Amino acid sequence: MTYILASGSPRRREICALAGIPVEIHPAPEGAEPALTAALPPEQTAILSARAKAEAVAAAHPDRTVIGADTSVWLGDAPLGKPRDEAEAARMLRALSGRSHRVITGVWVCGPDGCDGFADAAEVTFYPLTREEIAAYIATGEPMDKAGAYGIQGKGMALVRGIAGDFYTVMGLPGARLLRFLRKFEKC
């Protein structure tokens, strides 16, 4: 079965390919997911966002199985979204410097016979970062479209001291867990 991935993320597409999950790409419409809020637990927020994306695409493909995903970065109780500009990226990276934070990817799958989802979390610890390191990383442009202002699969790897949890959750999609989760939708 070929699934629909409700995401235009090249990282999620790559993870699906690595996990052997065949997908067609149909990104969710812009603004389909709700805004991040500290009012709900981070896992619930991630699932709600993934659900909104999956349901938006599934409405146009009711006979197919659609995978939605959303990744968020949390420093304590504060969500760190995608930076609006370089100054905000620098503030985020300074806040993450030398500290641990949580990365949560919510997944929601909608099939013809039902929907279900899960959230997967990992803890990431950064090295202490100098102003020069932060400025050099921002100059690459990489932080600008990433939650928390970094991409672990790219040049941002140099910022990371360690990970407790699934690397692919931090990258944007827990591929092994998703592969096992999809088994309940295979009869569709």
Question: What is the set of domains in the chain, with CATH numbers?
Answer: 3-185 (3.90.950.10)
Is pLDDT of 188 > 50? no
Task: Respond yes or no: is residue 70 known to be catalytic.
Answer: yes
Mean pLDDT of 58-80: 95
Given the residues 63, 70, 113, 145, the one annotated as active site:
70
pLDDT classification of 82: cutoffs 50, 70, 90 = very high
> How many helices (H) and strands (E) in the chain?
6, 7
Per-residue pLDDT for 36 more than 70?
no
pLDDT (mean) for 33-42: 74
Global pTM reads 0.93
Alpha-carbon separation of residue 29 from 23, 96, 118 (angstroms) = 18, 30, 22
Regarding predicted confidence, which is higher, 36 or 14?
14
